[in-house]
A and B are shown apart, each in its own frame.
Chain A
């Protein structure tokens, strides 16, 4: 009844469990890496600074939210606030210890965000499903209030905003007004690559399975020995960690400054839309959704000019909202699993091409 092919399985299963088992996928990934590294060589400051850096940062936040909402099924409307915790934590850390490597502080600020996230995740013990979103809303508004009402956080600055001080890394200026786009881009790229790899490892292993089990049927998960509260708290903590790092990078490596409105409820919704459109429960989807939601308005700003239509910036804004809304509805009707699923379907078709099936 049972057959054992001792030893042989080990190699097979390990490669069977690989994240990218197909050779073509690996080649594709390598090409993407090469392109990503080469972007600054195009010497297009706009591309690097206004498109790629924020795209990567928002992708990271989207990955964070996806782990909580997509994989574990816990709807969170507090993403903006958790990003803010990371930003303000990083600011205080570098104010108090200015000589420490700023990248270390960016990563460390993630831990503060993780702690706050876990605290606001405690209600998940008693509250289920949609109601839990209220706890995250409470987190969002309360933390946003903290950002303006606790002067210590912004070093008693009159404007309640934080200005990013100049910091160096191995002699190169990395933050502050004099840091070049290329420098900042490579740091962001490095952080995002590493953290995406870690996230991928998590979701493909035991922890990812427990999260999905809790999402799909928490009763059955519990009856299998999975403890709900630690699983949910871990999801909150890891998710907030990612959002916190994203928030810190947003402030230190892109905007150069921040105030509480940057981390408001609209930010939370934006990231949520990214993962809805991109695909809940998919890391690739986080990137695709971030690309669509973030880059679409930029493209829209250029299209009318190219077509010869003069449109106000405000009008473009309005149309973007309308298109975003329509896209959300469209995706939910056509493909609730988002862009990631469309990509998968596309790959399937590619696999059997040129045959239809």
Chain B
């Protein structure tokens, strides 16, 4: 189900496929033999109670955690182990549940940092600064400014992010992820801790990113209203196991999901 105002993006082939992935820490099994896929251009929600393994799943896709079992296929290439920068280079970007901004830097610098992969002028030019390095800097600055306009955070460009209110910090983090021009954007509870208005803004941003850039999005979220409105398909995890996978409508009426997570309306 999609919000009525946005145009439908044609959902295409499988972009990412997770096969039988299991992940343990010490004795704790965070994820057990989970398989699912994400199609190009869709918004995929991952929901489930706390501790279900949702963030761990994202971390596996990112290459931050290496699963003990299973494989991941991204853009046709299959791997058992992905290194974080390989994921980044491949076009995966993400935001974090607990915010992982570079607190010592301004909002602008944080988002510029997202352009690092695309900046190539070597140390010799960097030492000189004027010339090719400056040209490159300006070119990327222009791109970053577009993102800043998109997210409406012009006023806080030069503010050190540590001083920003929580909602704005989340926007800067989104901006940083967008700066990577990702094909797959992983959002870990982007609405957490936000009020109604902020949630609407963020939902709008998510939809716009998907509509205008065609970015595939995987989204962990607890707000059911948001999930139902935004996503094309929903994956439900509980205690590390997949208990449902389908459209929002299918998942909402799935008994197992209701028992584990949604509860019954009183």
Binding site for B on A (CB under 8 A): 1-3, 9-10, 13-14, 16-17, 198, 201-202, 204-207, 209-210, 212-213, 215-217, 219-227, 234, 281
Contacts and interface: CB of A to CB of B under 8 A. Distances in A.
Task: Tell me the interface secondary structure of chain B in the complex.
Answer: helix
A205 B137 contact: yes
A206 B121 contact: yes
Nearest to A217: B100
Contact of B127 (A3, A14, A198, A216): A198
Contacts of B137: 13, 17, 205-206
Task: Tell me the interface secondary structure of chain A in the complex.
Answer: helix
A307 B37 CA distance: 80
B163 interface: no
5 contacts: A17-B137, A17-B141, A207-B123, A209-B109, A216-B104
A13 B148 CA distance: 14
Interface stretch (B81-89, B190-198, B240-248): B81-89
Nearest to B157: A16
Nearest to B90: A225
Given A209-B109, A212-B109, A281 B87 contact: no
Interface in B9-63: 62-63
B119 interface: yes
Contacts of A204: 129
Nearest to A73: B104
Contacts of A222: 64, 84-85, 88
Given A202-B127, A216-B105, A224 B180 contact: yes
B113 A210 contact: yes
B258 interface: no
B102 interface: yes
Contacts, number: 116
Given A2-B146, A201-B128, A205-B126, A224 B104 contact: no
A223 B146 contact: no
A209 B112 contact: yes
Contacts of B102: 212-213, 216-217, 220-221
Interface string B157-189: 000000000000000000010001000000000
B165 to A, nearest CB: 19
Interface in B110-133: 112-114, 116-117, 119, 121, 123, 126-129, 133
B96 A201 contact: no
B89 A216 contact: no
Contact of B96 (A13, A215, A220): A220
A263 to B, nearest CB: 27
Contacts of B134: 14, 17
A206 to B, nearest CB: 5
B126 A9 contact: no
Given A209-B105, A209-B116, A225-B88, A219 B138 contact: no
B138 A224 contact: no
B266 interface: no
B162 to A, nearest CB: 10
Contacts of A205: 126, 129, 133, 137
Given A14-B138, A227-B85, 20 more contacts: A1-B149, A1-B208, A2-B149, A13-B137, A14-B134, A202-B126, A204-B129, A205-B126, A205-B133, A209-B105, A210-B116, A216-B102, A217-B101, A217-B102, A221-B113, A222-B84, A222-B88, A224-B114, A224-B116, A226-B113
Contact of B113 (A10, A14, A202, A209): A209
B75 interface: no
Given A17-B141, A212-B104, A234 B123 contact: yes
A212 B100 contact: no
Nearest to A2: B146
A329 to B, nearest CB: 22
Specify which of B102, B103, B109, B117 lies most central, judged by the most chain A CB atoms within 10 Å of its CB: B102
B151 to A, nearest CB: 11
A215 B104 contact: yes
Contacts of A221: 102, 113
A118 to B, nearest CB: 13
B74 to A, nearest CB: 15
B71 interface: no
Contacts of A215: 104
A56 B180 CA distance: 41
Given A212-B109, A224-B113, A225-B116, A13 B85 contact: no
A158 to B, nearest CB: 42
Nearest to A216: B102
